[in-house]
Structure 1
Amino acid sequence: MTNKQVIIVTGADLAPEALALLGDYEIVFAGKTPQTADIVALAKEHNPVGIIVRYGSVTAEVMDAAPALKVISKHGTGTDTIDKAAAQARGIKVTAAAGANAAAVAEHALALMLACAKAVVQLDARMHAGHWDKATHKSVELNGLTIGLVGLGAIGRRFARMCDAIGMRVIGFDPFATDLPDYIEAVPLETIWEASDVISLQCPLTAENKEMVNASTLARCKRGVIIINTARGGLIDETALLEAVRSGRVSAAGLDSFAREPMSSPHIFQGQPGFVLSPHIGGVTSAAYINMGVAAATNTIAVLDKVREQAFGQQ
């Protein structure tokens, strides 16, 4: 039995470099796919001062089960799985590992875009089946096309640089972005739908932008547009996207996130031509795993150190 304060990790592991930073605390792992009830039970048992969020949701119920809780630190950038209003009401700080996985996610967005434009998955399957489609297949040349980015944070900017490097015109929408490089043209959101040959989502999910890609916005897009999503599945109305792909309005969709995760099976996208799917692993690389873990640990320690200093100052 230890007298150390507890930090719960809603996952089965954490990078050794992050664990080394957290040596003054007892670390309790919640397992590979913890449900809210699992996290509540651990919170009641251990009364943690911090929670590092990898998987699952941290709700008001979790917070109420841990009276000592001071910080909820996201192992990544998206905090939509944390009830931030509940945390604020309870004086609990919420932090994110901003930029820690930017390179990994931007690279994955590029991979999905290229897979869609060049029909990599389909041609690979045809080749393995013994076909040689050189006389009949034509891929999409991205050079000279317009990509519209929704979200111009660390990931969006890095991806924009990649797109510029292959000769694409880059337009972007982000009401909070400032000091953009000269190869990104800031435009209204309406222009993203109407002017883009490729649309890529790199923004957080909020109540305001839920299902922003829907039947109405897709109807305004160029016929044959490519849709890429490495952000959050809730940004897309999945039924509307399926219909748009079937009709040819969208030529292909490269998706790394889904409205419900893990993606339910059977799912409406499974077995459908025009979809390239991956299991929300854009930010999962060896380097990003370390970067996100270290950032989450550092953010957690910073908050707890500040709380401790304030407590000492009041004595």
Structure 2
Amino acid sequence: MTTASKDVILVTGADLAPEAVAMLKDFELVYAGKTPDEDSLVALCEKHQPVGIIVRYGKIPARVMDASKKLRVISKHGTGIDTIDSKAAQERGIAVKAAVGANAPAVAEHTWALIFACAKDVVHLDQRMHAGHWDKATHKSLELKGKTLGLVGLGAIGSRVAEAGNVFGMKVIAYDPYAKAAPAGVTLCSLEELYRDAHIVSLHCPLTADNRNMINRDSIALMRDGAIIVNTARGGLIDEAALLEALNSGKLRSAGLDSFQTEPLAAGHVFANVRNAILSPHIGGVTGDAYIGMGTGAAANVLAVLGAAATA
């Protein structure tokens, strides 16, 4: 007697948390590797005909979807689904899911790491100390107490960032067109008011066609002189040329960036030698705990969709 082969789940990465693997024990997992390109994903879909794709790296356009006749669900290993062509998936009856909130603590913490690095000039002072300098008589950091923290987005991450802002004695304002009410200690405002009033503008919203390059020359012109911009969301939210101009001119004190228009950054990227740009390689959500949470969240979403399809 032969055993029926298992349906395949394609993982666009080299690994998955053991806890997530255990949840998907009834499926065969196929890994695409650390840096899968579109052609390799098409080839794997044509070969294995996966019923589901867990997206860690790379993009999932319509061409990848069409390579598997059995595909029913695309599940993001994280929260941002801008790398998935959701419109194409909807047209094909393929569910698109995200592991909402799974990495919220990690990203919120990294947001504050970047805020502190910008406000306290941590990186530059460290470099100066290692070079033998003692800048106590000439350096002044930015004190956060009494300053205004402006959050674009009040989801799981933005709300956590807001809580810490309250603890530090900051005035916290937020723009979120989907928020029905503000958490304690947060005042909802318009986007223009946020740009005008905030000492720190921190981005926590998904990237859409409507908000691409929302941080641009016009929005920066509205901001306070010496404001700080922090982005742990998506690089496409910022017009990088406009940000570069504002950092170099002194209009902005600094920027803390964990995501970029094109990733990974190419050698010689315009931000590479900008002293007041604090950079990290899109690792805000990369912690041991978040790795497990995003993996199990993605697996749960796959199981929920396929289980519903099986009983329909």
Give the TM-score of the pair, scaled to structure 2.
Answer: 0.98
1:264 to 257, 263, 266: 266
Shift of 1:278: 0.1
2:304 to 299, 302, 305: 302
CA distance in 1, matches of 2:98, 2:263: 20
The residue type equivalent to 1:93 in the other structure is A
Shift of 1:273: 1.3
Shift of 1:181: 1.4
The residue type equivalent to 1:98 in the other structure is V
Q: What does the per-residue CA deviation read over 1:222-281, in whole Å, with 9 as the maximum and x for residues that have no partner? A: 000000000000000000000000111111000000000111221000011101000000
Match of 1:287 in 2: 289
Match of 1:228 in 2: 230
CA distance in 1, matches of 2:56, 2:4: 24
1:177 to 176, 179, 185: 179
CA distance in 2, matches of 1:129, 1:214: 35
Paired residue secondary structure (2:278): strand
CA distance in 2, matches of 1:110, 1:178: 25
Shift of 1:37: 1.1
Counterparts in 2 of 1:78-97, with a 5 A limit? Answer: 78-97=80-99
The residue type equivalent to 1:126 in the other structure is R
Match of 2:143 in 1: 141
Match of 1:64 in 2: 66
Q: What does the per-residue CA deviation read over 1:58-79, in whole Å, with 9 as the maximum and x for residues that have no partner? A: 0100000011000000000000
CA distance in 1, matches of 2:234, 2:109: 16
CA distance in 2, matches of 1:179, 1:294: 30
Paired residue secondary structure (1:94): strand
Q: What does the per-residue CA deviation read over 1:192-220, in whole Å, with 9 as the maximum and x for residues that have no partner? A: 11111000000000000000000011011
Match of 1:12 in 2: 14
Taking only the aligned residue pairs, the percentage that are identical comes to 59
2:243 to 223, 241, 244: 241
Structure 1 segments, 4+ long, off by >4 Å, are none
Paired residue secondary structure (1:303): helix
Paired residue secondary structure (1:79): coil
Counterparts in 2 of 1:35-114, with a 5 A limit? Answer: 35-114=37-116
- Shift of the 148–158 alpha-carbon distance from structure 1 to 2, 3 Å rule, reads same
Paired residue secondary structure (2:286): coil
Which residues of structure 1 form unaligned runs of 5+? 311-315
Counterparts in 2 of 1:157-196, with a 5 A limit? Answer: 157-196=159-198
Q: What does the per-residue CA deviation read over 1:11-55, in whole Å, with 9 as the maximum and x for residues that have no partner? A: 001000000000000000000011111111110110000000000
CA distance in 2, matches of 1:264, 1:205: 22
2:276 to 274, 283, 304: 274
Paired residue secondary structure (1:208): coil
Give the TM-score of the pair, scaled to structure 1.
Answer: 0.97
The residue type equivalent to 1:116 in the other structure is C
Paired residue secondary structure (1:269): coil
CA distance in 2, matches of 1:42, 1:33: 14
CA distance in 2, matches of 1:147, 1:2: 57
The residue type equivalent to 1:262 in the other structure is P
Paired residue secondary structure (1:282): coil
CA distance in 2, matches of 1:180, 1:218: 25
CA distance in 1, matches of 2:172, 2:138: 30
Match of 2:154 in 1: 152
The residue type equivalent to 2:311 in the other structure is E
Shift of 1:126: 0.6
Shift of 1:178: 2.4
Shift of 1:177: 1.2
CA distance in 1, matches of 2:260, 2:296: 27
CA distance in 2, matches of 1:229, 1:23: 37
Conservation of the 8 A alpha-carbon contact between 1:9 and 1:53: yes
Match of 1:206 in 2: 208
